[in-house]
Amino acid sequence: MKILLVEDEKELRDTVKTFLMKEKFVVECAEDYPTAVSKINDYDYDCILLDIMLPGGSGLSVLAKLKKLRKQDSVIIISAKNSIEDKVEGLELGADDYLAKPFHLAELNARIKSLLRRKKAGGDTSIILGNLTLYPDTRKVTIEDKELELNRKEFDLLYYFVSNPNRLINRTALAESVWGDHIDQADSLDFIYSQVKNLRKKMKTAGSQAEIKSVYGLGYKLTIETT
């Protein structure tokens, strides 16, 4: 999957690029408006991460250019400008999502993967793992077509796990992905342990083929058990 990162802040650009490359994405960068326009003219991308405030022009003008070129590249706006007007204008110009700075890399990764899944599935956002289906838009989870009752944090944890199947995830990453800047509300990482424990019990009781396994001393990993 090929991503274009349009961001003028070098430190953030380098951090995001390094992270996404570790996630096995091919990443190209543009640090200003002219470079961004040149790249979208010459190449197609699976996803464009687009800042609004750019040297030499606006990210919204890049969106308008994409629309004029009839490009199908998916776009996530990443910007410190978080007004309703900016969001509305960006979405009306064709952006698929909007993520305000500062953001957590885990959330950016989940949004990119969700967007690419939706594009591949022709708009269907559901995630299927074995006999478990998760619907991000309605915050619903079913196992064998029977709804699994989860509280808000349990759903958020499960959403993060199913977005990263077969990947070792430590408790700190889980806490940051679910609580974000409000991580102190979790009180301690022991709270993560209790939430995951309850989630695992509910999934097992319901007969889920997707299983959250504990990796001693390291974290957790979501795997699929088939018979």
Cis ω for the linkage preceding 165 (within 30 of 0): no
Residue 177 CA to residue 174 CA, distance in Å, equals 5
Give how far Cα 149 sits from Cα of 131, 142, 213, Å: 16, 9, 20
Residue 59 binned pLDDT confidence (cut-offs 50, 70, 90): very high
pLDDT top residue among 35 and 67: 35
Domains of the chain are: 2-120 (3.40.50.2300), 127-224 (1.10.10.10)
pLDDT digits (tens, 9 = 90+) for 175-199: 766 665 445 544 556 778 888 999 9
- Among 104, 109, 81, 111, smallest CA distance to 183 is for 104
pLDDT digits (tens, 9 = 90+) for 158-168: 988 888 888 88
- The verdict on pTM exceeding 0.75 is no
pLDDT digits (tens, 9 = 90+) for 73-122: 889 999 886 667 777 888 888 888 888 888 888 889 888 988 887 776 65
The pair of three-digit structure tokens given for residue 164, joined into one six-digit string:
């990263």
Residue 206 CA to residue 203 CA, distance in Å, equals 5
- Among 170, 177, 165, smallest CA distance to 211 is for 165
Residue 174 CA to residue 84 CA, distance in Å, equals 29
The pair of three-digit structure tokens given for residue 179, joined into one six-digit string:
């609580």
Residue 162 half-sphere exposure, CB side, CA atoms within 13 Å? Answer: 26
Please tell me the predicted confidence (pLDDT) of residue 170.
Answer: 83
Lay out the sheet containing 26-30: strands in order across.
Answer: 26-30, 2-6, 47-50, 74-79, 97-100
Burial 81-98 (b: 16+ CB within 10 A, else e): beeeebbebbeebebbbb
